[in-house]
Each structure stands twice: as structure tokens, then as C-alpha cells.
Amino acid sequence: MTGSSDGMRGGDRRFVVQKHDASTLHYDVRLEVGDVLVSWAVPKGPSTDPRQKRLAIRVDDHGMDALTFEGVVPEGDYGAGAVLVWDTGGYRDLRADKDGTPMEEALDEGLLEVWLEGEKLRGGWALKRTDDERWLLIKMDDEAADARRNPTSTEPLSVLTGRSLDEVREEEAAGPEASRNRSEDG
Ligand code: MN
């Protein structure tokens, strides 16, 4: 394990970005709000380039267990396919800091601004609703913005176990014993 379990750096709430190879590969961005994870599916994943606005489809809230879930969702279940924890950490609600807007109200309004302290994703990020369940995930222009970094390509592995999606699939197929041993290796 690395410092990823230390969510307090970014605030007292947690976020996770899962890489999910379901019918199509996408990234699930989830923010702790109350006792659930408010969630968006981002087909291309987050970009650290403020000019790259990424489509983010609001999906059902998830339970807190998704913060650390890696494995293979079985065939026949919703979201069948391999999942890894691509990034996680703490976050701060910038709108609440600025003018006291509670997160629930910001969700209704369709504008969130959060400060992420993950291993891959840092700094300010906005989520803006364009219509209905369609939102845009946008990196704010700050010191963590970087048009050339492209972390979905250059940093593809799990921050919890260092595994690729192929390794998650292979170890799941080999049985729970293999996954457990691999996780302990670090
Ligand atoms: Mn998903």
C-alpha cells in the first residue's frame, strides 16, 4: 500500500475513480456524499487538460464498498466485467468552502467544484450538467492542470494493487487464493 488510504489530505470525504471494462471500457467517478457514492460514468476517463471536457453520464449512486472494490463483476450482473481502483483519495467541496452551497444543492443545480487529492488526479475539477443525466468533467486551470500528461494512457494500473485489468481478470480466474497472495505482495 502507498499513501492512498490517507484521505484526510484532501478533506474528510473520499472519492474513487474505478476503471471498468464492461460492455465498453469506461471510468466510474464516485464522490462520497452523505452515506453514498454519487457516480458518473466517464467513457474517455478524466483529462488533466482543461480544454478537454469529458462526457460524464450520471449513474446510480453506489454503496461505500465501491471505494476499494477490485475484481470481476460476474456475467449476467449489471456492469459485468473487470474493475480496478484507478485512483482514490480525499476531496474538498470548493462550493461549500466558497459560499456554503451544500453538495446536495450543487447536484440539483448541476454544478460541482471539488478539490481532489488523489495519486493521479489533483487540484480543482468541475462537473457541469449539460442536460438530464449528461454532465461534463473538466479540469480547472490550476497548478495540477497539464495538457500533456494524459494519465489514462500513461498511468493505467490500480493504485491499490498495481494490477492491470488483465491481471485482475487472470487472478480472478485463478481463484481467490491467487488474488489474496498478490494483494499481500503489494
Ligand atoms: Mn461502470
Give the pLDDT confidence score for residue 3 in this predicted structure.
Answer: 41
Q: Are strands 122-131 and 36-42 parallel, antiparallel or unpaired?
A: unpaired
Phi, psi (degrees; rounded to nearest 5) at 76? 95, -25
Separation of alpha carbons 64 and 54, rounded Å: 24
Say how many Å lie between the CA of residue 69 and the centre of ligand 1.
Answer: 12
Look up the domain containing 36 and give its range. Answer: 3-185
| Number of structural domains in the chain | 1
Say how many Å lie between the CA of residue 64 and the centre of ligand 1.
Answer: 15
Would you give per-residue pLDDT tens digits along the chain (186 residues)? 344 444 344 568 999 999 999 999 999 999 999 999 999 999 999 999 999 999 999 999 999 999 999 999 999 988 899 999 999 999 999 999 999 999 999 999 999 999 999 999 999 999 999 999 999 999 999 999 999 999 999 999 999 999 999 999 999 988 866 656 555 554
Say how many Å lie between the CA of residue 79 and the centre of ligand 1.
Answer: 6
Q: Is 75 helix (H, G, I), strand (E, B) or coil?
A: coil
110 neighbors 23 (Cβ within 8 angstroms)? no
Phi, psi (degrees; rounded to nearest 5) at 88? -160, 160
pTM beyond 0.85: the answer is yes
How confident is the model over 93-130, as pLDDT tens digits? 999 999 999 999 999 999 999 999 999 999 999 999 99
Long-range contacts of 21-28 (CB under 8 A, 24+ apart): 21/81, 21/82, 21/83, 21/165, 22/73, 22/79, 22/80, 22/81, 23/81, 27/86, 27/152, 28/59, 28/62, 28/66
Give the pLDDT confidence score for residue 185 in this predicted structure.
Answer: 53
